[in-house]
Structure 1
């Protein structure tokens, strides 16, 4: 006797409102933070003797932000994990908005340094807090894309705001530009407060099906990871991979911010001292390509699981473009290489920040990401200052950019060799699909 198979119901697709609610609100928030961090790169070439800043001083203005940036990384990550990412970020948003406005009111070089330090202090806790938030909303198989889509705010901020800053400089003083650009975070804090929830169970707009799916997926991800300790500093530092990631991030970010801060100044030279509006518009072009590179590289990383390659290969391209840009003649060729460099140094963001969540359980990942971001971002001080100091010392940016290329090369070596998967002891990714190795 035969029996007909009972037809199985076709599963309904899981709703995905999280992509249209969480990511855009977080992206706009951090786009405003990145504006307040990087608008100084457009302003510095046009300060025309205000505060009597040398190239080394300008590098210090850009870099001292990252000294302040260190202090709240781990405290904010722990607050986000154990208290509330939503509340942590809104408090920091209000504080950094006020600090950004303060930067436009300074009357001396020392005050400018202090204002930039304070701005970095309050902005420093935002990045790890949002990464903790995203870890509560996106399973590992979506994590690189979620991180990258959120982090598209970095090049997007420069695409939109570099031309705006340039235009504003043509119509107002640099002081007014800084004051006015400090206001939007105060306004967006209201949107953040009402639109963002710490986890799916707390959100009014999410369906029960999507919330259940996320809870099951994230619980399965956590169960597959090695056991962690109490979430202390020591538990994070004991992981060899965390130490390697700190090194990778430091050397990468040294090259990244050394290039980004001085990009408008290089473009100003290529335009033979063009107007601030022209320089702002041209500065947006490399970041538009960076936006496309970030998104494409993150999607490839999620599809293949090749996290190490998704970090290392773009940086190798960036090294080549950075060095060639100093060797070729002609404004068009140098501009093209600036575009390639920008795309290359931005592309690793999504895959890189997917790695800690794959290696570590939720109890310790907050401290680990805080450590990586805090210590790694000291490269944001080293890069801009090195380029400025070497430019003053040699009369050319060639030496400075060659040093940045060397820093990127160390990052490539560390991510390629230092994160090579190893058997047991908890440093490798637990399964091939989510792995670093393939």
Structure 2
């Protein structure tokens, strides 16, 4: 993959384009790392329908198994963000990677549902600090005008992981039992921790592969971004909590993530129903289709958001589409149209990721942004517990999943209202990418190549 050409206008004093190796060095290593995290987090969604009564799990218990991960996920969010900012994102992520790999393998050794709860909780605990730590890392490498695209290309690991996870887990289940699947899928993070250690640097000035020109450009651009933001106090927990935008973003993320995980972690079970109890391999392959659509949509939406600077619309509009598709899907339960609606819902639920996580860095200074992103992710991801458990509990109570998914649509609707009424237009006050030109066209072509490369990893 050739290094990307920077957006138009990012040139030296002589007009020579600034190198942009950061796009092809930092992002791919981070993508693989978090693909493994998301795989170990969500593989239970494929495994649960094929446990054949092991551990005697009811639908509510299955919702607890998937959702309790997010209770553990809360605890290291802020510490992980602070360690990444004040110590080292590189070291923080490597330590957590080793710890979550061990916890993921332990999930395959449980003998009771209570042990399964504990193992999933501990897995969430160690994965919890990784997301904010990587966001801090990206904020040290990509100026605001590039942030949504950088976030989305990294967060492409979420649908790519699902594209890989669903068929892989299904295939493995056809040849071994669910315990071995969990154990074997927990091992790769231990290997990738070594790659991460040697490939990643906390700042451009610490990387051996980056040119002095590119390093100076990044540092100069980041300094200009910071200078344009209002002062935010001393950078304490209270400074972050006092920010109105932080409280609104926490609420938006909670209601969105409730719908997101309520849908995605039950998706294989829904597809199994659509296929009239098809084989695990068939369900796995079909489950990969919605996530492939999600990968394309989320990167395209982020590129549009960076080009226009319209962060709020890039979050709200996809969620409206998700609500409509989710509700229609409860009416059309089966056939090709049912599968199409699952694809639309998945694409719309993934689309806001890049633009949403570009908002905190656009309105908050570096003194509080680490704590703020930790708070947003920690409290917002409690929706990852609420959503799956709510769907499972309502399915047990009503005998149908229609009620559960209808409630999820209501949670998404609240998120849309909060985006449009709670976030001020200043949340979009970021530097949009310049108008198209020769360099911009080169950059767009490179981003297209990068998306294709990521999709190849997914296959």
- Picking from 40, 50, 56, the partner of 2:54 is 50
Partner residue of 1:3? none
* Matching residue of 1:365: 369
Q: Does 1:205 align with 2:209?
A: yes
Q: Distance in 1 between matches of 2:430 and 2:350?
A: 27
Aligned pair partner of 1:156 in 160, 168, 174: 160
- The 1-side partners of 2:140 and 2:211 are apart by 16
Q: Deviation of residue 145 (structure 1)?
A: 0.1
Query: Aligned-pair distance for 1:430?
Result: 5.2
Give the Cα–Cα distance (whole angstroms) in 1 for the partners of residues 178 and 432 of structure 2. Answer: 50
Large movers: runs of 4+ above 2 Å: 428-434
Task: Tell me, in whole angstroms, the C-alpha distance in 1 between the residues paired with 2:31 and 2:175.
Answer: 28
Once residues 195 and 238 of structure 1 are traced to their aligned partners in structure 2, the CA distance between those partners, rounded to angstroms, is 37
RMSD: 1.2
SS in 1 for 2:68: helix
1:430–1:265 CA distance, 2 compared to 1 (3 A): closer
Q: Which residue is equivalent to 1:244?
A: 248
SS at match of 2:304: helix
| Residue 215 in structure 1 maps to residue 219 in structure 2 | yes
TM-score (norm 1): 0.95
Q: Provide, for residues 113-166 of structure 1, a one-character-per-residue CA deviation record: whole Å limited to 9, x for no partner.
A: 000000000000000000000000000000000000000000000111210000
1:72 corresponds, among 71, 76, 88, to 76
Counterpart for residue 137 of structure 1: 141
> 1:253-308 CA deviation, whole Å, 9 max, x = no partner?
00000000100000000111100000000000000000000000000000000000
Measured in 1, the distance between the counterparts of 2:235 and 2:431 equals 26
Select 2:118's aligned residue among 93, 104, 114: 114
Cα deviation, 1:72-123, whole Å, max 9, x if unaligned, reads 0000100000000000000000000000000000000000000000000000
Q: How does 1:39-438 map to 2 (within 5 A)?
A: 39-421=43-425, 428=427, 433=432
Taking a change above 3 Å as real, the CA distance of residues 432 and 184 of structure 1, as seen in their structure-2 partners, is: closer
- Contact residue 274 and residue 333 of structure 2 kept, 8 A: no
CA drift of 1:330 comes to: 3.5
Q: Residue 4 of structure 1 corresponds to which residue in structure 2?
A: none
TM-score by length of 2: 0.91
Query: How far, CA to CA, are the matches of 1:195 and 1:60 in structure 2?
Result: 37
Work out the CA distance in 2 between the residues paired with 1:86 and 1:60: 32
| Kept in 1: contact 2:309–2:430 (CA 8 A) | no
Please say if residues 148 and 358 of structure 2, whose CA atoms lie closer than 8 Å, have aligned partners that are also in contact.
Answer: yes
Q: Which has the larger radius of gyration?
A: 1
Q: Does the 8 Å contact 1:97/1:185 carry over to 2?
A: yes
Q: Partner residue of 1:425? A: none
Distance (whole Å) between structure 1 residues aligned to residue 54 and residue 279 of structure 2: 18
Return the alpha-carbon distance in structure 1 between the equivalents of residues 393 and 428 of structure 2.
41
Q: Is the 8 A contact 2:240 2:368 kept in 1?
A: yes
For the structure 1 residues 9 and 25, does the alpha-carbon distance in structure 2 shift closer, same or farther, using more than 3 Å as the test?
closer
Residues 145 and 299 of structure 1 are in contact (CA less than 8 Å); yes or no, is this contact kept in structure 2? yes
Post-superposition CA distance 1:3-55 (Å, at most 9, x none) = xxxxx974111101000000000000000000000000000000010000000
Cα distance in 2 for partners of 1:146, 1:431 equals 15
SS in 2 for 1:166: helix
Residue of structure 2 equivalent to 1:5: none
Whole-angstrom distance in 1 between the partners of 2:21 and 2:131: 22
Q: Secondary structure at the match of 2:110?
A: coil
Deviation at 1:327, TM superposition (A): 0.6
1:339-390 CA-to-partner distances (Å, cap 9, x unmatched) read 0000000000000000000010111000000000000000000000000000
Separation (CA, whole Å) in 1 of partners of 2:176 and 2:231: 56
Q: Secondary structure at the match of 2:400?
A: coil
